[in-house]
Amino acid sequence: MTDTSPGTSTEFRVAREDLSRFMQAALAAAGADQASADAVTRALVTASRMGTDSHGLRLLPHYLQALKGGRINGAPNMMFHQRLAATGFLDADDGLGHLAGYTAMEHATAMAEVAGIGAVAVGNSSHFGAAGCYALTAAERGYLGLAFCNSDPFVLLHDGAKPFHGTNPIAFAAPVAGDNSYLLDMATSSVPWNRVQQFGAIGRELPDQVAANAAGQVSRVPSEVAALLPLGGSAFGFKGAGLGGMVEILSSVLSGMQHGFNLLPMGGPDMSTPRGVGHFFLAMKPDAFVEEGTFARGLANYLTDLRAQPATQGSQVMAPGDREWRCQAQRDAEGIPLDSANQLAYAEIAEEYRITPLSQLG
Amino acid sequence: MTDTSPGTSTEFRVAREDLSRFMQAALAAAGADQASADAVTRALVTASRMGTDSHGLRLLPHYLQALKGGRINGAPNMMFHQRLAATGFLDADDGLGHLAGYTAMEHATAMAEVAGIGAVAVGNSSHFGAAGCYALTAAERGYLGLAFCNSDPFVLLHDGAKPFHGTNPIAFAAPVAGDNSYLLDMATSSVPWNRVQQFGAIGRELPDQVAANAAGQVSRVPSEVAALLPLGGSAFGFKGAGLGGMVEILSSVLSGMQHGFNLLPMGGPDMSTPRGVGHFFLAMKPDAFVEEGTFARGLANYLTDLRAQPATQGSQVMAPGDREWRCQAQRDAEGIPLDSANQLAYAEIAEEYRITPLSQLG
């Protein structure tokens, strides 16, 4: 850590402790209370360590802007209403979705400990970063975890001409004895919206069957693209759209929120009106179905068989999460990279909020 | 109903009551008890009415063969072990998966009535037909329903060269006040295995990105195809494979069964050894999260907005299930069609089990 003045080097890497320190200071300066700042920092650092860069450190400026604008309540009074033995509602009081997510999953696992399974619908919330963070926190405590969230419309319905669903993610995690968790975290579109922007910036064509123009026709030209296709493309997108619909129903309909089509855009320009995002979290105790230990043994066998499968030439078969855990080990050792846009954004935050800048790893 | 001697006319249609009568008689003659025969009939007729022909009446000969061979126990003593307030295990005693499915979903909804949510893992079961049947039965009673099942390997892992997962389906249904349910029922591959056979039979190329040859390379030539690709194809199949893995973990690992890669093939030749298929069912009470009635209103609004979306030219936007309910209305009015292969199979069953043949609708 020799350089305390972040420039725009493409090799800029930071230690996760330093990144956490910076995020917590910035969030506090923008009005987040301790619990909120801790939750956002935990979620963003988790995503950045795993290589989920679309949902990692690049989102900090966005959350600071939403706190400053008043859209997000930095000191929420989140209230959990348990309705029955295994279900309840968390009113997130327009606070940060990350705090809502971790809090809701704590309630879900607590109910699962008693009833075998627990589910929490969350309303009056906001963008929560990567859905995988909350499924993962359940798995780290020994539970199966599921997390869902709606978002503003970018994705076409099957045969649709206009975006209707968000990229509505599904995250599923399972605890693996003595190892990192099984972790699936996927949008129900093939690619996220920022992939279109990235391909446009470098002048590349998009993969086939991932996006469409304003008439709903498949397009590979980023500048023409007006919407994403659901997973499955024009032939099998009824599956991706159906999954996106399931996520929507669980996230917004079950929590009494407006569905995603009616959400204010995440990107603004309105940064003062709360959006009313909805989430849904579910936790299950693996030993609440058959004899204790059966699940752990079965999952280990399954993963051993899966990882032993032959791959196509030049490839390797991996379980969901394997790529992420490999990236995490590497970034924990070498630091988390910031591209030039993020270096600039973090330098501006340091200046605006008078925070000691990030230290570049030497 | 003028013709009681089914020939091979391509216009052969039967009334669902007559189809039910025939199925129940055949199943009873092959050794199924009343509850088992009722459950199989209910599931197959439900699928055939909705147009899910891959999981409808064409499966009857298979179940009869499995009963006759002893693989399936026609008079099972299924035992439900409730472990905690909202979770339990149903031992299906090697009986028909359809009876296991309806029985497990009854327990799941009963627990959901008390605890808000209920989940049942099922072991020692067999093929259960269409997963949607069990999600639907929950929705028809006013609950959100989810159903999952594993199956023997036909689908590659992402970057894999050998089939590992089954077509592991996900079914999700939600009750819609005063209307047919919202119903998503999808394999986690793009197409089912019998689609490859159908395309081969008529000499057609497969769609792109749905199947692969023995080296795991994408192929559109049915005669070359050795495996299905997971939903998402070669570029985004990590999503389909991850969903297939989630289904596998919930269906077989949670229930203490062998995972699908180790299952005996559904198609035989061994028709005497029980396969030990696993299922997973989940039910939720919609009003167990927020105020009563909120869910029903929100879902109605969502579906109104969804169905009002503009479509690409020549298409129509539909909610999951809409196509199926339209087909059901048509087939209830006009009868359920049998193609020539099924006409032949049903004529043989009539002869073998001395059952009055199906009556062709006039």
Of B240, B261, B302, the CB nearest to A249: B302
Q: Which residue of B has its CA nearest to A213?
A: B312
| A206 neighbourhood in chain B, CB within 8 Å | none
Q: Do B253 and A317 touch (CB under 8 A)?
A: no
Find all residues with CB under 8 Å of B213, minimum gap 6, and list them.
B219, B221, B224, B225, B226
Whole-angstrom distance, CA of residue A187 vs CA of residue B29: 49
Q: Do A87 and B317 touch (CB under 8 A)?
A: no
Crossing angle of helices B60-69/B340-353, nearest 10°? 40
pLDDT given for residue A10 in this prediction:
65
Q: Do A190 and B286 touch (CB under 8 A)?
A: no
Q: Which residue of A has its CA nearest to B160?
A: A311
Structure tokens belonging to residue A140: 């780290």
Q: Do B288 and A83 touch (CB under 8 A)?
A: yes
Using one digit for the tens of pLDDT, what is the confidence trace for A232-266? 999 999 999 999 999 999 999 999 999 999 999 99
Whether the bond into A230 is cis, omega within 30 of 0: no
Sign (positive or negative) of CA dihedral A51, A52, A54, A60: negative
pLDDT given for residue A78 in this prediction:
98
ipTM of this complex: 0.96
Of B162, B252, B302, the CB nearest to A309: B162
Structure tokens belonging to residue B26: 């055949």
Of A232, A302, A320, the CB nearest to B259: A302
Supply φ then ψ for residue A23, to 5 degrees.
-60, -45
Of B158, B164, B289, the CB nearest to A83: B289
Using one digit for the tens of pLDDT, what is the confidence trace for B91-103? 999 999 999 999 9
SS3 call for B120: strand
Whether the bond into B337 is cis, omega within 30 of 0: no
Strand partners, A91: A79, A123
Shortest distance, CA A42 to any CA of chain B (angstroms): 25
Shortest distance, CA B322 to any CA of chain A (angstroms): 12
pLDDT given for residue B132 in this prediction:
98
Q: Which residue of A has its CA nearest to B257?
A: A298
Q: Do A231 and B231 touch (CB under 8 A)?
A: yes
Using one digit for the tens of pLDDT, what is the confidence trace for A178-197? 999 999 999 999 999 989 99
Q: Do B245 and A319 touch (CB under 8 A)?
A: yes
Shortest distance, CA B333 to any CA of chain A (angstroms): 27
Of A118, A295, A306, the CB nearest to B254: A295
Residue of A219, A229, A253, A316 to mutate for B, most B C-beta atoms under 10 A: A253
**Cα dist from A9 to A16, A22, A331, A343, A344, whole Å:** 18, 19, 17, 8, 10
Q: Do B289 and A254 touch (CB under 8 A)?
A: yes
Do A37 and A315 form a contact (C-beta atoms < 8 A)? Answer: no
- Amino acid symbol at B159: D
Q: Give mean pLDDT in consecutive 10-residue pieces for chain A, a chain of 362 residues.
A: 42 96 98 98 98 96 98 98 98 98 98 98 98 98 98 97 97 97 98 92 95 96 97 97 98 97 95 98 98 97 98 95 98 97 97 97 84
Residue of B172, B176, B195, B236 to mutate for A, most A C-beta atoms under 10 A: B236
- Amino acid symbol at A29: A
Residue of A236, A262, A285, A316 to mutate for B, most B C-beta atoms under 10 A: A236
Quickly tell me which residue has 């020939």 as its tokens: B7
Q: Which residue of B has its CA nearest to A282?
A: B117
pLDDT given for residue A8 in this prediction:
44
Q: Do B87 and A288 touch (CB under 8 A)?
A: yes
| B301 neighbourhood in chain A, CB within 8 Å | 259
Using one digit for the tens of pLDDT, what is the confidence trace for B142-186? 999 999 999 999 999 999 999 999 999 999 999 999 999 999 999
Residue of A206, A302, A316, A324 to mutate for B, most B C-beta atoms under 10 A: A302
Shortest distance, CA B122 to any CA of chain A (angstroms): 9
Burial B161-198 (b: 16+ CB within 10 A, else e): bbbbbbbbbbbbbbbbeeebbbbbbbbbbbbbbebbee
Please return the burial class of A210, using the count of CB atoms within 10 Å of its CB with bins 0-12, 13-18 and 19+. Answer: buried
Find all residues with CB under 8 Å of A235, minimum gap 6, and list them.
A209, B190, B207
Whole-angstrom distance, CA of residue B222 vs CA of residue B211: 9
| A172 neighbourhood in chain B, CB within 8 Å | 242, 246
Q: Do A254 and B87 touch (CB under 8 A)?
A: no
SS3 call for A244: helix
Size of interface A-B (CB pairs under 8 A): 276
Name the stretches of chain B with pLDDT < 50. 1-8
Of A87, A256, A289, the CB nearest to B288: A87
Q: Do B302 and A170 touch (CB under 8 A)?
A: no
Do A284 and A278 form a contact (C-beta atoms < 8 A)? Answer: no
| B51 neighbourhood in chain A, CB within 8 Å | none
Do A172 and A184 form a contact (C-beta atoms < 8 A)? Answer: yes
| B318 neighbourhood in chain A, CB within 8 Å | 158-159
